[in-house]
Each structure stands twice: as C-alpha cells, then as structure tokens.
Structure 1
Amino acid sequence: MASSDVPMTDATVQTIDATPQADQHISHDGKEYTTIKEGLAHILVPHDIPTSTDPRLSKEEHAKQQVFYNPIQQFNRDLTVLAIKTFGLDSIQRKLKKHEQFKQKRERTRQRIQAERAAGDTTNRGNGETEAPTTDESLSKKRKLVVANGEEGAVHPKRQKTLDKYGAAEQEEEEGGDDQDDATGANGGRTPWRPSFRILDALSATGLRALRFAKEVPFATAVTANDMSQNAVDSIKLNVKHNKLEETVTAKTGNAIAYMYSYCDKKGYDVIDLDPYGTAAPFIDSAIQAINDDGLLCVTCTDSAIFASHGYLEKTYSQYGGLPFKGEPCHEGGLRLVLHAIATSAGRYGMAIEPLLSLSIDYYIRVFVRVRKAPTDVKLLAGKTMLVYHCESGCGAWTTQFLARNKVLKNKNGDPMYKHGFAQGPSADQHCEHCGHKTHLSGPMYGGPLHNVGFIERVLAQLNEVDKQTYATTDRIEGMLHTALEEITFGTKLDKSNGGKTQALDPLIPKSDPAEVDHHPFFIIPSSVAKIVHCSAPPLAAMRGALRHAGFRVTMSHCKPGSIKTDASWKDIWHIMLEWVRQRAPLKNLPKAGSPGAAILAKSNATGYTKTPTADIAPAQVPADPAPEAQSNGENSGDGSATTPAKDLPAYLNTKFEVNFDEKLGKDHDRGKYVRYQLAPRENWGPMSRAK
C-alpha cells in the first residue's frame, strides 16, 4: 500500500521539528505531509500526492508527483553529489595550499618590515632624537610624512608601496577573507582556519538538491537554494527546517539570471548547478559571472528535440550557436553543442573551460565543466571548435573541419608555446567522396575531449566506499563511468587488477592538455553501416576484431549500446565492410544504381593489395599467413575467416591492409560486468509536461 493510502491518526502524525524519517507523517500549519527520503535528505510532499520512489510509476501518477519529487532524476542527483565531492576535495586542497603559501609570505613580509623599523629607529637615535613608542598605524603615518619632507631615515617611495600593499592584505584578512588567519574561539582558543566552499542550486524547486549538497558534501560551508516561485521557496524553507539545515542552506526568491549577474564584481560560488526544465542556454552567461575562478559548473539540458534533432535547426542555432548533427551520434553532437555554448560564453570574459565529464543520459544530457581564469587557454578555443561535413542523406560518413590551427613551437627556453593561425579548408568536397551524395554542415561545436580521465578515476574511487542504500543508482553510475573512461582512453588506461576497482588517488585532479582535440568525435553503428551496402550486419566482436587487427583503437560510446568508437577513417571502415561482404556475407541482390551502396561497391575495384607484406604495407599490419597447405586448399584458418591464395585482392580507394574478422581479438573478457546502458523502466519514458 502506498504511503499516501495510510490512514492518518493522532499517533502517527508528527510535527515539523521531529527527526526526519522516510514515510513519516508530518502536520504543519494545518496541512499534512508525507516524507520521502533520497540520499541523506528528506522532503515533504502533500499527503494527497503519490509518493512512490519507483520510477515505474504510471505516467498519470508521475505527472502528479513530479512537481515535488521526480524519481527519474535520482541518477542525475546521485552522480552530481559524487562529482561535487570529488571536485570539492581538489578545491579544498588547493585552497589550503594557497592559504599556507599566503601565511608564509605574510610572515616573511612581517619579519622584513620589523627589520626595517628597527633600522629606522637606530638611525633616528643616531641623530640625537628620542622617540616614544608608537603604534603600527601612527608609525606608518609618520613615515609617510618623513618621506614627504625628505628627512634622513625615510622609507623609499617604492618600498612604501610594498608596505601599503602589506597593510591592505592585513586589513582584508581582518575583514574575514578566504586567506584569514586562525580565528579566536569562544573560549579564547584558536579555531583552525576552514576554507569556504559555496554551492548554488540556481533552479531549486523543492530544494532536494540543495539539501543533499548540505547533508552529503561534508566541507560545504554554504548552500543557496534559489527559485523564482514563492510557493517553491516556501516549500524549500519547510524542507530546510525539517532537515535542520538552517545554518547551512539559505532559500532565495528571485530570477536566477538576475541573481547570478549580481555577483559580477564580487566573490561568487565554487559550484553552480543548473538543472532547468528544457534548455540551460539562457542561464549560462550569468552563471559564468557568478562562478569563482577554478569553479565547477554543472549543466543539464532536457531539450533533446532541439540539440539532437534536425527538425528545429534554427532554434538549435539560436540556443547553442551551432547546428545539430543528424544521424545516430546526434546526442553526442548535442553534448558538443552545449559545451560550445559554455566555452564561447566563458571565453568572452577570459575564462577557459575543461570538460570533466559529459554524458548523454536517458532523454537529457549532463555536463560537469571546470571553469578557470586562463586567457592563454582561451586563445586555443578556435583551434578546438569544429564544423562537421555530414553525408546524412547518403552513406552517413562525416569529416571534421577545425576553424583554426594551434601550432606548437618552442620559445628560447625550450618551453612549448602556441602560434595561432587560420586552418586550411575546406576539408571536404560539396559531395561525399564515398557515395557522391551532397554533404551538409553541422556545428560549430566543441571539438576537444569530452571527459577528464583523472576526474572519472577519482569519482570511481569514491564508489568503493559509498553506501548503496544512500546512493541507490551506484551500479548504473559505475557502469556509465567505466564506459566513459574506456571511451576517452580507448581502454588503454584501465587497471585490470584489484577486481577492476579504482584505487584511492590524490585529490588533485590533473589538468588536461588545453590544446588537445578529438579528431574522431563520433561513433558508428555496424548495423547502420551494413544497411548502406545491403548486407547482413557483422557482429560487434567481428567488427572490433577487424579494426584491432588492422592496428586501430576501438571502444564503445556511452551514448548508445551497440556502438563502436574508433580512430579509423571512413575509408578504412568501408574497406572493412566490403571485405565483410567478400569474405562472409555475399550480396544476394546488388544495391540499385545511383544508390550510396552502389557507389561504394564500385570503388572496391581500385588498386588491390596482396596478402604478402610489401614496401607499402607495414609488417605489423599484416600477420603471418597460415601454412601453405591451408592456403592452397582454401581451408579455414581457425579463427573463423576463410583464407585466400596470395594474390591481388580488391581494395577500397587504395586502402592497403588485410582484413581479419578475429572475434576473439574483438572481445574484451576483462572489461567487467557493469550496468552500462539502462533500459527504460516503463512506456513513454522521458520528460513530462512543464509543471503548472
């Protein structure tokens, strides 16, 4: 029986001041509520609203509940809390180090000033003057007067600037800045200095995210929950009181954009979370104004009909400054459009972004971006911004075109420096080189890496210690993060020891190369590629094995099951597919003349290759042939692929490597069993109507 169906009695009803528990009945100001627990936080839902945390709740009941609690988004909230904790450990460590450096510098300055004061007193006594002891403030004023009169023993004007700067730092310290000294406690003792860590939940609704941040991020010093609706803010205040977080969480009523712009000229937040209904584009510029240097920006966009569809491309451009990618990898293109919008907005203010984690989840996308004040890195942005020439009406191939070039040079000290120039273009013809159909433009969009390897590893390390009852979506988080890690590294950095668990690492997140670009940004689906040439689809293991046998790196994308992400070019992919047709899946009916498949098949009659290594083929790319007897008889080689006598074989556009569909090579038995892709738990899974 649902908690909302439990009859209310005097014995079961408690006040708002009661200790929070799940399925608790609360009475406050003549209204009755039921408590829902997520993570370590509890929120109050009116008693006549369904309170199931089961994501399989019917669409009608879910529509009633979603204004107060949306179980579909628990994965988003769990992942966000873990990401903020990971980033926060890095931020706190940097602040502590900076504070220690400040204290050491201040102590050296204090000692130097005391030595100068002592030298000045000695000079004055040598002139026969007798001075009464003076305070630091009066002594500073007297020295300025001495300088003005040009008297002996005066402080040099340049040195006086240093003294004034030191005095200003001391004053800032006394006013309670981040670099203040240990404070005096109530009993006269010294309280250790604690770095601030402030979080803004800009579009808070019931305040569930803000409550979880305050409860589950132990070093959070202040959390602000903002919403424009007064009813929502009243609900936030009620939930804050019930969770006993009045000292940490502050509820604000107002427009999120106006509120964030109010931090243009003052210290802002270390973390800003933007989770609107629909697009986050209107909030990005103001969020850049309110975020501190080296802060974390968490952005959700649920308007997949805009960023991942070609039906409203004019709307896509007005929101994100680029045109959408059409085809299977459209959601990955959406990720890059959102990152492009954030990067260009930040670049106007000399801020550079570094994507730490960028995920396409269910019907929305979620990105975690580190924002730094780094004008030098901003100069690299044009060289990391790309256009995409996409043959979406033909074979589906694409070519990327970066807007500029970042050329690495050496300065006189031998350190790397960058020279920025125009890129040579265009990188593709008006018609596709493979099938001859017209190509269309997508972008501009972000062309750098989507993830930071060090960040993902540190979030995974946290999962070894978290309580699975608190973080109910741990299995899915672990699976998606492992897939994202393989996606960015092509599986080369995975530690197979310790049962696949990530070891605890230093909290400092390594900075990725700000000039790195992703030359192979999108995945392919073998079944979709097979449709072009009208053949049966190769198994994933066979396709992966053929690519690896040819020396290419292969992994999967987190965006879609059955995907293949590789550094092979489309020319190499079509060469492998035509070999699949020749070796394993002969065509029963040829594609129609003029179709993309017919054009690609016609190109396989180009210059062939031989199975024996030649000067044009690296020996590492061509494995040793089977025994001569097996070759002459045309026997099977043992790995499932038929051998062919050594002779010239058809090659696609002069592509010279042998194709071996080695399914054993294509399987990763040590990848571990993870929940990499979640199935929709009910029909019509996706965003509901906007709350009234």
Structure 2
Amino acid sequence: MKTRTIQEGGTRALVPPVPDDGQLSISSASVFYNPEMELNRDLSVASIAAFSQIMSSRRHLEMSEITYVDALSASGIRGLRIAKEVGLNVTLNDWSEEAYTLIKENAAINDLTDKVRICLGNANALLHKERYNIVDIDPFGSPTTYLDAASSSVINMLAVTATDTAPLCGAHLNSGIRKYSAVPLNVEYHSEMGLRIMLGMIARDLARHEKAMHPMFCHATRHYVRAYLEVKKGANKTDKCLKDLGFIAHCTKCTARSVHYGMAVHIPEKCELCGEETSIAGPLWLGPLHNREFCDSVLVQLTNRELGKKEYAVKIVELCRNELDIPTFYDQHLLTKKLGISAMPMEELLKELTGDGFKASRTHFSGTSFKTNAGLKEILDILRRFR
C-alpha cells in the first residue's frame, strides 16, 4: 500500500495518499484517512486530556491507568495521538488487516509499540467483551450500529462522531428515521437538529444498560457532529437523564417552535403564533449541549498544545462555552428575509434582546445564528425597529 507521512500535533503517521480526483471515500483507499478531520482530532486530544485530568484528580489515578479505546482506528492516528500526547492506556482496533498492519507501523514510528495495544477484529465484539474508561466511536457514516456495544463497554466517557448529516438533519428523512428511530426535520436549525437527534439515540442506548449521560462538549462542524459525554451508572441517574428527551413542534410557515419534554406528551397540532399545522421532530435530546467548566478546561488544553487547527478549535469551544442552554437557534438572515429588511449587526441584536430583559447569545452553529429565551414575536418586533 502506498503511503505518505503526515504530522498532527506531536504525532507522525503513515497514511494513504489523496486520490487523483481529490475525492475521499471509504472505497477510495484500503485504509481511510481524512485530513479534513484534523480539527476533530485536535479537539479530541484536548477534550479527552481535560476529562482524563479531572478523572485523575478525582480518583488519584495516573494517566496511564485510564483506559481508552479507539474502536474503529483505520490509520490509528486518533488513538496514537491520545497515547502519545495525553498518555492514556490506549487500545486501537480495526477489522481490516491492512489497517492493522499500518497501525503497527505508525506505533513504531512514534515509539509506542510497547505502550499501545493493537487489535484486529470486529469493534462490537471487542466492546461487548471489554470495559474501558473512555470509548471513542468515530466511524465513516452513522455510529448507530456501534452504540449498543459502546454503551455496554463505557465506564466514564463516551465520545461519538456521526458524519451522515443528511439523514440526521432531515435531508434524507426516511434514512434518518430508520437509523436513529426518530423524525428529524430539515429546518433552518438542521445542524442542531442533527446533533440533538444523535444525542437522543445515544441516551436511549445508554439507558438500556442503566447508564446516564451528561453532555460536556458537543458540536456540529461542517459535515459532522461530535459529542463528548460523561457517563454515570445507576437506574435513578438514568431515569433523570431520560427526562431531557422530548419533541420539537415546528411551524414551517412562521418558523415558531416549541419544545415538549417527555416520551408520551400532548403536542398541539396548531402553531400558537399563526395557527398553521406544526411538524414534529423527535424524540431527541432537549437538555444541555455543553458544560461551561469543562469547556474552560478544554480551552486550557488547547492553549498549552501545539496543534494544527488550534485557532479554529479555540473559537468553536469558546462559542460553545458561551452558548445558551436553550433548544434550537434562530437564523437572523432568514428572519430578516421574511420581513423584507436588512440584517443588523449580531452584537447589536444581542444587545437589544438583553436590553429588553431576555437572555441571548451567539452559537457555534453559524455566524448568523443566535439563541434566546425570547419568543418569535418578540424577536421580530426587535428586528422591525431597525427596518
């Protein structure tokens, strides 16, 4: 297999060359490596390092005693970075013999041959058999086929990526329903919709193992969504966690929306603002997406490391840290287009909202999006002031 050498953070690796047509796909190489996911991996190193330090201080553990598994390793770059740059006890697994061989070569390049465990086999079989403090699922496409095994295996933290954003965000509705056992809507906040649909699925999978999740840092970036979840065991904790599941009623005419907590709840068929019929999304996660203190810890890790995507990573985490814990954002450009007026500077809009007694923040989802506890009518009234 032809390879080229790349450097990410403090780790070198042999990876397949970029195809001649420049189009990456799971079938374009025997071992998949996506350079566009370096940001994802930089954030992974910082987030897992931050969580591991918290675990270490709570339980008086050495970092090398904390077990981490990259169950779908491919070239091994993510897990090797965790081993070399964070210092955890790492297991790397892939079903492909070519990947297995390449991971061994990459471990040797980084002097990690005796410090990491490399497995060849089915990810689900490994996860059902063994337990790890931190389980990382980063597949090409949907993570759903691995969630039950991951939920069984995980002790303290579950990290999950999904790159099948079209099904998650409602663009491929039937596929989203099949994969995630939920109805996604392709609305202006579709990126947040996809993240919450995935989190809802994870919460339900964990619940079958009497485990609860607490989102620490979750984001939707470009073509994927990623979640870092603290996991706790216990039926009472699980029952409390499931109370953050529910549905969103969305009016496609005026874009008003309402949230409804619970798995069996009454949802009004008509929009409270304009009287049109609403569309229902869910079940999905309606709870917080971030933990502010944890995001601060991730920022410290990012600041103290040499990373290729540091500036972008810091920006994402800062936006997530300051984002209101309110389901669904509004897009100012869409609202002003409906009103037939020009958009106002985002900081000015946030100032007007807070000046009227509401909470408001930017979001990490897009530069034109914001969150607020103001209703749609109040938001539109503020925007009309500046027509």
TM-score, with structure 1 as normaliser: 0.53
Matched, 1:288 2:147: no
Q: Which amino acid aligns with 1:524?
A: Y
In the alignment, which of 328, 339, 342 is matched to residue 199 of structure 2?
Answer: 339
Partner in structure 1 of residue 12 of structure 2: 42
Partner in structure 1 of residue 43 of structure 2: 79
The CA distance in 2 between the partners of 1:434 and 1:61, in whole Å, is: 46
Partner in structure 2 of residue 562 of structure 1: 368
Partner in structure 2 of residue 402 of structure 1: 261
Partner in structure 2 of residue 60 of structure 1: 22
Q: Deviations over 1:102-150 (max 9, x none)?
A: xxxxxxxxxxxxxxxxxxxxxxxxxxxxxxxxxxxxxxxxxxxxxxxxx
Matched, 1:299 2:125: no
SS at match of 1:537: coil
Counting matched residue pairs gives 385
SS at match of 1:381: helix
Q: Percent identity?
A: 31
What are the ranges of 5 or more consecutive residues in structure 1 without an aligned counterpart? 1-30, 51-56, 98-192, 405-421, 489-517, 586-692
* Conserved 8 A contact 1:553-1:566: yes
Partner in structure 1 of residue 189 of structure 2: 329
Partner in structure 2 of residue 474 of structure 1: 310
Matched, 1:212 2:212: no
Aligned CA distance change for structure 1 residues 96 and 233 (closer, same or farther; 3 Å): same
Q: Deviations over 1:281-319 (max 9, x none)?
A: 111110011112xx1111000001100124x32321222
SS at match of 2:134: strand
The CA distance in 2 between the partners of 1:66 and 1:438, in whole Å, is: 49
Partner in structure 2 of residue 259 of structure 1: 126
Matched, 1:352 2:212: yes
Q: Give the structure with higher Rg (CA).
A: 1
Q: Deviations over 1:569-589 (max 9, x none)?
A: 223223334xx1xx543xxxx
What is the correspondence of 1:479-490 to structure 2 with a 5 Å cutoff?
479-488=315-324
What is the correspondence of 1:305-454 to structure 2 with a 5 Å cutoff?
305-310=166-171, 312-392=172-252, 394-403=253-262, 425-426=266-267, 428=268, 430-454=269-293
Q: Which amino acid aligns with 2:105?
A: L
The CA distance in 2 between the partners of 1:79 and 1:299, in whole Å, is: 13
Partner in structure 2 of residue 521 of structure 1: 327
Matched, 1:225 2:84: no
Q: CA deviation at 1:241?
A: 2.3
The CA distance in 2 between the partners of 1:336 and 1:203, in whole Å, is: 23
- The structure richer in strand per residue is 2
Partner in structure 1 of residue 339 of structure 2: 533
Q: CA deviation at 1:361?
A: 0.8
What is the correspondence of 1:609-624 to structure 2 with a 5 Å cutoff?
none
Q: CA deviation at 1:42?
A: 1.8
Aligned CA distance change for structure 1 residues 85 and 435 (closer, same or farther; 3 Å): same
The CA distance in 2 between the partners of 1:66 and 1:456, in whole Å, is: 36
Q: Which amino acid aligns with 2:309?
A: T
Partner in structure 2 of residue 494 of structure 1: none
TM-score, with structure 2 as normaliser: 0.92
Between 1:521-530 and 1:77-86, the stretch displaced more is: 521-530
* Conserved 8 A contact 1:92-1:195: no
The CA distance in 1 between the partners of 2:247 and 2:363, in whole Å, is: 21
Q: CA deviation at 1:65?
A: 7.4
Aligned CA distance change for structure 1 residues 321 and 194 (closer, same or farther; 3 Å): closer
Partner in structure 2 of residue 90 of structure 1: 54
The CA distance in 2 between the partners of 1:59 and 1:524, in whole Å, is: 38
What is the correspondence of 1:175-254 to structure 2 with a 5 Å cutoff?
196-218=65-87, 220=88, 222-254=89-121
* Conserved 8 A contact 2:204-2:242: no
Q: Deviations over 1:477-520 (max 9, x none)?
A: 111111111104xxxxxxxxxxxxxxxxxxxxxxxxxxxxx5x3
Q: Deviations over 1:157-213 (max 9, x none)?
A: xxxxxxxxxxxxxxxxxxxxxxxxxxxxxxxxxxxx887211111001111112111
Task: Give me the CA root mean square deviation.
Answer: 2.3
In the alignment, which of 549, 552, 576 is matched to residue 355 of structure 2?
Answer: 549
What are the ranges of 5 or more consecutive residues in structure 2 without an aligned counterpart? none
The CA distance in 1 between the partners of 2:90 and 2:170, in whole Å, is: 36
* Conserved 8 A contact 2:33-2:74: no
Aligned CA distance change for structure 1 residues 535 and 39 (closer, same or farther; 3 Å): closer
The CA distance in 2 between the partners of 1:562 and 1:368, in whole Å, is: 25
SS at match of 2:260: strand
* Conserved 8 A contact 2:316-2:364: yes
* Conserved 8 A contact 1:395-1:529: no
